[in-house]
Amino acid sequence: MAKNPKNLNVSGAEGVEPAVTPPPAGSETTLIRKPKIAAGSSRKKEIPEGVWTKCPKCSNLIYDKELDHNLKVCPNCQFHFPISARERIHALVETCSFEEMNADMTSVDILQFTGVATYTSKLTAYQKSTGLKDAVITGIGKIGSIKTAIGVMDFSFLGGSMGSVVGEKLTRLIETATDRELPLIIISTSGGARMYEGMFSLMQMAKTCGALGYHAQARLPYISVLTHPTTAGVMASYASVGDLVVAEPGAMIGFAGPRVIKDTTQAELPPGFQTAEFLVDHGMIDAIVGRREMKERLHYYLEFLTGGRTKLAKAG
Ligand SMILES: [Zn+2]
């Protein structure tokens, strides 16, 4: 009876001599040698930092130059990354048409506030890291052919918080717009009033809205643009009282945070609560406009809202 060849190696494997004697450890006769990887030469480290950014929504790697070119919007899933006030203005107004106002206005530590660090040291640190004097840039620029008063907030300066300087710069901008009969656009992003200035920051809510009242009385248009995130004292004042209120996709917009509301109302919050998409469905804001379409859309709105005035002025 013939032996089943399959059984050969199974039962007697340990007793069979290997055909080739294995080389001793460390011998140079190894046929296949893996190249040794020197410390610090892994592939990951070959990519210089600051060249690629990972999208938090779709996890795609985006080349930084492409991201800048796309106004910090993910080309794959349209996620809107944070963008600085200067970059926004650059993307919005005609070249060389922007004249900045009150560029050197800075906050004073009136309360001598000291927490983990003093308010003065915080201001100095943020001024150095952002190149800004405070959390808003204001000025007059042209969008298409329409001269417009523009205020743009920057979240990277102390969370875009509204202190005396933000309030004063915006109020002066609104008053200039009223005097010069210009339409107004304020692009907001803020965590709310600046606690380091206590009551002085809360007073800015009434001051800015008072100035907006005079601007509205002069029948001049005001468009409020809400970006991620716009909350608390800013949302409860000038950001929510535009003739038109538009928002960027996915922006978180609200007064108090969802946890506070949930604890206060003891109710389950619906999915998507406090997002731009939720608010447009419930009539709180008028439209959602992507950053890449923002300039074109604002120009269209301005033309529509100022058209009557221009025609009247021409007729008069
Ligand atoms: Zn993405």
60 Cα to the center of ligand 1, angstroms: 6
**Ligand 1 centre and the CA of 63: distance in Å?**
12
pLDDT value of residue 259 = 84
Nearest CA to 142 out of 183, 104, 195, 82 is that of 183
CA distance 285 to 243: 10
pLDDT beneath 50, residues of the chain? 1-16, 27, 312-313, 315-316
Residues near 199 by beta carbon (within 8 Å), at least 6 away in sequence? none
CA of 281 to the centre of ligand 1 (A): 24
Tokens describing residue 132: 């800004």
Closest alpha carbon to 139 in 202, 194, 81, 96:
96
The CA 160 to ligand 1 mean position distance, Å, reads 25
d(CA 85, CA 156): 9
Question: In this predicted structure, what is the pLDDT of residue 101?
Answer: 95
pLDDT for the residue 9:
46
Distances (CA, A) of 178 to 94, 173, 219, 306: 22, 9, 9, 14
CA 66–ligand 1 middle distance (angstroms):
13
Which has the closest alpha carbon to 159: 183, 117, 124, 193? Answer: 193
Residues 6+ apart with CB under 8 A from 149: 138, 139, 140, 173, 174, 176, 177, 180, 182, 183, 184, 185
CA of 305 to the centre of ligand 1 (A): 34
Q: What local confidence, expressed as pLDDT, does residue 8 receive?
A: 43
* Ligand 1 centroid, distance to 73 Cα (angstroms): 8
Ligand 1: distance of its center to the CA of 130 in Å?
A: 26
CA 253 / ligand 1 centre spacing (Å): 21
Distance 67 CA to ligand 1 centre (A): 10
The pLDDT score that the predictor gives to residue 308 is 52
Summarised one tens digit per residue, pLDDT across range 56-65 is: 999 999 999 9
> How is domain 84-315 classified at the CATH fold level?
2-enoyl-CoA Hydratase; Chain A, domain 1 (3.90.226)
Measured CA to CA, the distance from residue 313 to residue 316 in angstroms comes to 5
- CB neighbours (10 Å) of residue 183? 24
What's the gap in Å between 76 CA and the centre of ligand 1? 5
Domain boundaries, the chain: 54-83, 84-315
CA of 249 to the centre of ligand 1 (A): 13
Compute, in angstroms, the gap from residue 69 CA to the centroid of ligand 1.
15
What is the distance between the alpha carbons of residues 304 and 298, in angstroms, rounded to a whole number? 10
Measured in Å, residue 237 CA sits from the centre of ligand 1 at 32
Q: What is the pLDDT of residue 309?
A: 57
CA of 227 to the centre of ligand 1 (A): 18
Residue 40 pLDDT: 53
What is the distance in A from the centroid of ligand 1 to the CA of 75?
7
Q: How far is the CA of 79 from the centre of ligand 1 (A)?
A: 5
